[in-house]
Homo-oligomer: A and B are copies of this chain.
Amino acid sequence: MDPIRIAVVGMGKIARDQHLPAISGNVAFGLAATVSPDDAGITGVPHHASLDALLADGPAVDAVALCTPPQVRYALASQALARGMHVFLEKPPGATLSEVAVLEDQAQKTGASLFAAWHSRFAAGVAPARAWLSDRRVDRVTIVWREDVRVWHPGQAWIWEPGGLGVFDPGINALSIATWILPRPFFLESATLALPGNRAAPIAADILFRDSRGAPITMDLDWRQTGPQSWDIVVDTDAGTLRLANGGAVLTLPSGTDHAEDREYPGLYARFATLIHTGRSEVDTAPLRLVADAFLRGTRLAVEDFDD
């Protein structure tokens, strides 16, 4: 089978750190081009300032990976799908739920594969956690996601703008895991969002979800954490406690702890190749829906200004 000729659009940190290595490590793909208005690309690969320019003058491509901020992703995805190209959407898949629904509809009509990627679902501990939980009774879930935004998102202004998710940008990773591993669907019961006076997006949030059996799922998100950082999910069940630490990488079951190698982005690209080869799309918006619910239903609390 010929490699899928893919273009990476939006050459920011995530593209360079994760997408390019994962693509070069997967024989199903060949990197055909890069696209970015303010970047020179990489040596030996055609580079264009915009998707328009690539489509007008560039090499033929079969697929695009969209690594831009979510606020501009719809227009790029729609343009690519209209050409019958397959589309990989970084998380979150869009700035709104309705635009993702429109893209899904468009992909169905063109027959192209649309993949809403949730990288944390491919963390090493997640698949075994899902398997272990599949026939457990879940009594309580505690999610703690506390990190220092100055370390992890330095100078990323878009993340604070409307359509950026603020502290839900990392928090949605926790939700992508929880919606995947827990055996029952859950919904948002209450939320408090902490909003700095000079920012449009929350810097912290306290959320109570509940699953369809009534089990509470608490989520503590905070971007003001200095010192030790936490990306932990603890699930109390009828068969003991499951703990996923380091964003899903390290799984502890009553029987012991598993440390496995990080394979998030290689896992995503393997999945994208399978979707393309089998003519399918995968668009699960449940994590973004829960975030939208927090914005819709949450109580807003003014907190002190934040400057980075």
A residues with CB within 8 A of B: 74, 78, 95-99, 101-102, 105-106, 162-163, 185-188, 191, 200, 209, 212, 286, 289-293, 295-300
Contact = CB atoms under 8 A, between A and B. Distances in A.
Contacts of A186: 98, 102
A92 to B, nearest CB: 10
Contacts of A290: 98
A248 to B, nearest CB: 21
A209 B78 CA distance: 15
A186 B162 CA distance: 19
25 contacts: A78-B212, A96-B187, A96-B293, A97-B97, A97-B289, A97-B293, A98-B186, A98-B187, A98-B286, A98-B293, A101-B185, A101-B187, A101-B286, A102-B185, A102-B212, A105-B185, A106-B212, A162-B297, A162-B299, A200-B299, A291-B296, A292-B293, A292-B296, A295-B295, A295-B296
A300 B187 CA distance: 25
A162 B298 contact: yes
A171 to B, nearest CB: 13
Given A187-B96, A212-B102, A163 B295 contact: no
A167 B90 CA distance: 33
Nearest to A288: B296
B289 A98 contact: yes
B292 A187 contact: no
B212 A297 contact: no
Contacts of A295: 292, 295-296
